[in-house]
DNA sequence: CTGTATCCTTTGTGATACTG
DNA sequence: CAGTATCACAAAGGATACAG
């Protein structure tokens, strides 16, 4: 947010859910949350394997952000070699109904979007 | 999606709602949908004024994408000067319960995120 | 294993000016 | 009014290599 320009404020005025969208639907956050939800508490390398196209750099960045936002919990085990586990926090878990609603909307309407696109593109050509 | 690398496929496997997130929660789409929902059918310049920080270029880009996805309807009135009106489609309107759920989650949990951030940043300093 | 560091490319976005 | 065209820039993301 910028106090000079008030950009974030403007975005919030135009759309009250803008802050939540920033937190929950940033790129890579939903795949990470989903994977943690599907497979439970797991290590860094497991996440990396399951989200095949993510790089360690980006995975670290997103996990840090989500940890800071209180959505995931990071547990460091000081062993050799080091072991780190990630899991969904209670706050993160409270998003489950939301994700379920998104899944349902997707099941009912994703195909309509596809058809709309085809129709639109046909009108173009 | 890239057939060679299968990147989109990977993202979908890791997270079934990835396609919906792309469609609905791209940048600027929620403010635009929200404004259309709040003020109803309106002209290009009205949208531009209500979402103060958006530029005409970006507004056009987003509106075109949402029109192609079937979320909004564009009506062109061939007058002088030209008049164009945008409104939410039936498909776009079907997102309303989702947005309501997001609003509710925000009301209940946004503050928790703020507190988690403060706690995290304190531990850093 | 769990990341960091570096470099590089791409994408998104903004500023500005202009057209029918 | 409703955009389009062009330039420019910053940030996000990917590739790769390396460290504790």
Measure the CA–CA gap between A91 and A33, rounded to whole angstroms: 12
pLDDT tens per residue, range A35-47: 999 999 999 999 9
- The pLDDT-based confidence of A8 (bands split at 50, 70, 90) is low
Per-residue model confidence (pLDDT) at position B17:
92
Whole-prediction pTM value?
0.91
Question: Which of B21, B67, B69 has the CB atom closest to A30's CB atom?
Answer: B21
> Cβ–Cβ contacts within 10 Å for residue B63, how many?
21
Per-residue model confidence (pLDDT) at position A62:
97
Per-residue model confidence (pLDDT) at position A28:
92
Residue A1: inside a domain: no
List the one residue out of B70, B69, B34 whose CA is nearest residue B54: B34
Is A21 an 8 Å CB contact of chain B? yes
- The number of residues making up chain B comes to 125
Residue with token string 């095949």: A52
Tell me the Cα Rg of chain A: 18
pLDDT tens per residue, range A38-72: 999 999 999 999 999 999 999 999 999 999 999 99
Per-residue model confidence (pLDDT) at position A123:
82
Domain tally for chain A? 1
* Contact assignment for A14 to B35 by CB distance below 8 Å: yes
Q: What percent of chain A has pLDDT over 70?
A: 89
Q: Peptide bond preceding A81: is omega within 30 degrees of 0, i.e. cis?
A: yes
CA distances to A84, A117, B8, B84 from B63, in Å: 44, 14, 24, 12
Chain center to CA of A17: 15
Residue A6: inside a domain: no
Residue A116: inside a domain: yes
Per-residue model confidence (pLDDT) at position A45:
96
List the structure tokens of B92: 């776009």
Residue B69: inside a domain: yes
Chains A and B form CB pairs within 8 A to the count of 135
Q: How many Å from the CA of A31 to C1' of D13?
A: 16
Per-residue model confidence (pLDDT) at position A3:
44
Per-residue model confidence (pLDDT) at position A124:
74
Is B100 an 8 Å CB contact of chain A? no
* Contact assignment for B50 to A14 by CB distance below 8 Å: yes
Residue A26: inside a domain: yes
Using the C1' atom of nucleotide C13, identify the protein residue whose alpha carbon is closest.
B58
Mean pLDDT value across chain A: 91
Residue B81: inside a domain: yes
Residue B7: inside a domain: no
Is B51 an 8 Å CB contact of chain A? yes
Q: What percent of chain A has pLDDT over 90?
A: 80
Is B78 an 8 Å CB contact of chain A? no
Range of the domain at B75: 16-124
Q: How many Å from the CA of B51 to C1' of C3?
A: 40
Q: Taking all atoms of strand D, which protein residues have CB closer than 7 Å?
A: A 26-28, 53-58, 61, 81-82; B 43-46, 56-57, 60, 63-64, 74, 81-85
Question: Which CATH number covers residue A116?
Answer: 1.10.10.10
Per-residue model confidence (pLDDT) at position B15:
87
- The pLDDT-based confidence of A2 (bands split at 50, 70, 90) is very low
Q: How many Å from the CA of B77 to C1' of C20?
A: 15
Residue B104: inside a domain: yes
Per-residue model confidence (pLDDT) at position A9:
61
pLDDT in tens, chain B (125 residues): 444 445 566 666 778 899 999 999 998 999 999 999 999 999 999 999 999 889 999 999 999 999 999 999 999 999 989 999 999 999 999 999 999 999 999 999 999 999 999 999 988 76
Longest dimension (CA), chain B: 62
Question: Which of B14, B52, B105 has the CB atom closest to A31's CB atom?
Answer: B14
Is A57 an 8 Å CB contact of chain B? no
Per-residue model confidence (pLDDT) at position A7:
59
């Amino acid at each position: 947010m910028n106090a000079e320009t008030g950009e974030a404020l403007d975005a919030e005025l135009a759309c009250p859910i803008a802050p939540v969208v920033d937190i929950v639907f940033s790129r890579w956050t939903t795949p990470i949350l989903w994977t943690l939800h599907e497979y439970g508490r797991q290590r860094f390398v497991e996440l990396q394997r399951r989200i095949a196209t993510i790089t360690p750099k980006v995975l670290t960045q997103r996990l840090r952000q989500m940890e800071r936002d209180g959505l995931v919990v990071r547990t460091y085990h000081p062993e050799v070699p080091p072991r780190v586990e990630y899991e969904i926090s209670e706050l993160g878990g409270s998003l489950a109904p939301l994700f379920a609603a998104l899944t349902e909307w997707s099941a009912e309407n994703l195909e309509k979007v596809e058809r709309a696109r085809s129709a639109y593109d046909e009108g173009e050509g």
